[in-house]
Chain A
Amino acid sequence: MGKYSLMMGSEALVRGAIYAGIRFYAGYPITPATEVAEYMAQLLPRAGGIFVQTEDELAAINMAIGASVAKWKAMVATSGPGFSLMQEGIGHAINTEVPLLIVDVQRGGPSTGQPTMPSQQDVFQARYGSHGSYEIIVLSPGNVQELFYLTIDAVNLSEQYRTPVILLTEEITAHLWEKIYVPGPGEYPVLPHATPPTRGDEGFLLESQLHDERGYNVANDPELSAKALWRLIRKIRDNVDKISRIEVKYFDDEPSVFIASYGCSARSALAAVKMLRQDGYKVGFLRLITLWPFPENTIRNAVRGASTVVVPEMNSGYIVNEFRLLGLNVVSVPKLGGEMPMPEEVYSIVKGVLS
């Protein structure tokens, strides 16, 4: 049996990670992700894990990759500037197929930008930040309860697909305290840790250039290189519908307008939908739980019949482009400055669309 607890988002994240079997954490303190490190330093050693404060974020992610290969479920947590420094390591983990959890508690950018204020400005960096062609899984928790469960899901997905998974949250959710349910041991599924396959006494080769299934370098062979890279891409791309999830509410009466959002902005969006419904407007609600791979088919299905999708987000308008690519008529509600969009703001924009 689990129990109810009043918890800060960062603590829920840490407890979720430990629940999922994370036993190695490396990181460098950075606002607003420092609480993750603090709770980790407190709770991880008690669970038999290792906490390391590294000299910088490059060391953190590379150390975590090493730990994961050495049979420890591992994670890092950071914010914007640190996330930028980790990009090379993310590509390395993708190419070497190392399961790893990467947390980015988003603050305002660019550069040191707004350290104490939330944003959703790293949505594209999470998808495209590392060099080369690749696919990646990025999850976006909507509240503290989901932050707990999605942390476990992220670790599970990273084990299942042998790839780094990014948990993209925001300062608001990481610092907010909410009543959450913490499940007891065995109540929520946890996958075993995947390490590189070994062949007898040979051990294994960990190769960051393109390689075959034995780990041998094939970077000079166009055909084998293409094969190796397509396999890495397809293991995500071909499983979009299994990996990616959305939440849809208020859709039964086939509304012509949907408000679609993610993370903390989705809370404003939902409040706006409720206000609009109260005033007699038929408006639907869609929330992305997985940002990448972008769940095209699921979304198309969910909003079929709708003529317009309104997308509030705390950046200059990123995810809205993905909806535009689906051929939908979109209205972007970009919000900069570090405050969540107000439900009233979203309300009046949607009302304008409807009239």
Chain B
Amino acid sequence: MRLEVRFAGFGGQGVITAGRLLALIIMEADPSLYVVYSPSYGFQTRGGDTLSDVIISHEEIDYPKVRRIDLAVMLTQQAYNKYCGLVKDDGLIVIDEHVNKDKGTCGNKRHYKLGIVASARQIGSDAYASTIMLGASINYLGNTEPLKGRLMLEHARQVVIRYFKETLLGRKVGIEDLINKNIKALEIGYEMMKIK
């Protein structure tokens, strides 16, 4: 059983972070699973296309890149047009509410629109799109094989707290606030996802 996830968007939306966190959360949820995480950004960290892929499998992962995506979360029209074709026929395409699916060539696939970027701005910054799409993905993947019944929101909470504590080690103020906002974003994202 191989599961392929892609997060794609614009630099600054936390697409890379979302992928890394998802990989860590899967490891926390089921240590027996194999996980590959592959970020792609080059010099685009401050704007421009970014994407990150996570592959999850119960056996050693051979080909390490995505070919047939099970879940794609795409925050920009550009990302959607470019990658929707890679999503499996029975996969799920999650797009931000401003993305127009009629502009792509994937109309017959399963789409789900979420107000990810708008909710992130309400929390305070585009970067919270990261933990919002993560929350939504956790909910969906937690109902999909091979993660059904094993991947819980609680795993995500623990990992997100640990991750931001470690990566923000050098920061003197505002860590608590940042972690709280990310947890809130995670929960908002989790609640948004209604597809089982």
Interface hits, A264-278 → B, CB 8 Å: 264, 267-268, 270-271, 274
Complex-state Cα separation, A32 to B23, whole angstroms: 23
Q: Tell whether A177 pairs with B27 under 8 Å between CB atoms, given A6-B20, A172-B64, A340-B65.
A: no
Instruction: A270 to B63: give the CA distance in the assembly, Å.
Output: 8
Of chain A, the residue at the smallest CB distance from B23 is A6
Given A4-B31, A6-B27, A177-B36 contact (CB < 8 Å): yes
B170 neighbours in A (Cβ, 8 Å): none
Contact mask for chain A residues 247-273; partner B; CB cutoff 8 A; 1 contact, 0 none:
000000000000000001001101100
CA of A102 to CA of B61, assembled, Å: 27
Q: List 5 A-B contacts (CB under 8 A).
A: A6-B20, A6-B27, A6-B35, A177-B20, A271-B62
Q: How far is the CA of A264 from the CA of B65 in the complex (A)?
A: 11
Q: How many A-B residue pairs have CB under 8 A?
A: 55
Flag if B37 contacts A267 (CB, 8 Å): no
User: Per a CB cutoff under 8 Å, which of B23, B60, B67 touches A177?
Assistant: B23
Q: What is the CB-to-nearest-CB distance from B141 to chain A, in angstroms, rounded to a whole number?
A: 16
Contact B35 A267 (CB under 8 A): no
A277 to chain B, nearest CB (A): 12
A116 B62 Cβ-Cβ under 8 A: no
Beta-carbon contact of A271 and B63 below 8 Å: yes
Chain B positions within 8 Å of A6 at CB level: 20, 23-24, 27, 35, 37
Residues of chain A whose beta carbon lies under 8 Å from any beta carbon of chain B: 4, 6, 116, 143, 172, 175-179, 264, 267-268, 270-271, 274, 340, 342-343
Contact of B62 among A4, A175, A274 (CB under 8 A): A274
Q: Do A176 and B20 form a contact, CB below 8 Å, given A4-B31, A116-B42?
A: no
Shortest Cβ distance from residue B164 to the other chain A in the assembled complex, whole angstroms:
15
Check A179 against B23 for contact (C-beta < 8 Å).
yes
Q: Which A residue sits closest to B26, measured CB to CB?
A: A179
Indicate if B104 sits at the interface (CB-CB under 8 A): no
* Shortest distance between the CB of A119 and any CB in chain B (Å): 16
The answer, yes or no, to whether B39 is at the interface (CB within 8 Å) is yes
Bound Cα distance from A4 to B67, whole angstroms = 27
| Contact across chains for A4 and B27 when beta carbons are under 8 A apart | yes
Query: How far does the alpha carbon of A237 sit from the alpha carbon of B38 in the complex, in Å?
Result: 39
Q: 20 extra interchain contacts, Cβ-Cβ under 8 A, other than A179-B35, A271-B62, A343-B63?
A: A4-B31, A6-B27, A143-B60, A143-B61, A172-B64, A175-B38, A176-B37, A177-B20, A177-B37, A177-B39, A178-B36, A178-B61, A179-B23, A179-B33, A267-B61, A267-B63, A268-B63, A274-B62, A340-B65, A342-B63
Across-interface contacts of B33 in A (CB, < 8 A): 179
Alpha-carbon gap, A119 to B112, bound state (A): 38
Least Cβ–Cβ distance between A233 and chain B, in angstroms: 37
Tell me which residues across on chain B come within 8 A of A343, comparing CB atoms: 62-63, 67
Measured between alpha carbons, how far is A179 from B62 in the docked complex, in Å?
Answer: 14
- Name the residue of chain B whose CB is nearest to the CB of A285: B62
Q: Kindly supply a per-residue 1/0 record for chain B positions 36-61, scoring 1 wherever the CB is within 8 Å of any chain A CB and 0 otherwise.
A: 11110010000000000000000011
C-alpha gap A267/B34 in the complex (Å): 14
Q: Closest CB of chain A to B156's CB: distance in Å?
A: 15
Instruction: Say whether B31 contacts A176, CB under 8 Å.
Output: no
- Given the complex of chains A and B, what is the CA–CA distance between A59 and B93 in angstroms? 52
Shortest Cβ distance from B38 into A: residue:
A176
User: A-facing mask of B1-42, CB < 8 A → 1, else 0?
Assistant: 000000000000000000010011001000101111111001
Bound CA–CA A87/B111 (angstroms): 55
Do B38 and A177 touch across chains, with their CB atoms under 8 A apart? yes
Nearest CB on B from A132, distance (A): 38
Chain B residues, CB < 8 A from A268 = 62-63
CB distance from B149 to the nearest CB of A (A): 20
Contact B36 A176, beta carbon cutoff 8 Å: yes
List B contacts of A274 (CB < 8 A).
62
Q: How far is the CB of A67 from chain B (nearest CB, A)?
A: 31
Check B34 against A179 for contact (C-beta < 8 Å).
Answer: yes
Cα A270 to Cα B65 with chains together (Å): 14
**A176 and B34 form a contact (CB under 8 A):** no
Please give the distance in Å from A260's CB to the nearest CB on chain B. Answer: 15
Bound complex: CA A171 to CA B34 (Å): 21
A4 proximity list for chain B (CB < 8 A): 27, 31
Query: In the complex, which residues of chain B have a beta carbon less than 8 angstroms from the beta carbon of A116?
Result: 42
Q: Beta-carbon contacts of B66-87 to A below 8 Å, as 1s and 0s?
A: 0100000000000000000000
Measured between beta carbons, the chain A residues less than 8 angstroms from B35 are 6, 178-179
Evaluate whether A176 and B27 lie within 8 angstroms (CB atoms) in the complex, with A6-B35, A6-B37, A116-B42 already known: no
A270 touches B62 (CB 8 A): yes
Residues of A close to B38: CB separation below 8 A? 175-177
Cβ contacts under 8 Å, A267 to chain B: 61-64
A178 CB contact (under 8 Å) in B37, B42, B62, B65: B37
Most B C-beta atoms less than 10 A away, residue of A4, A172, A178, A342: A178
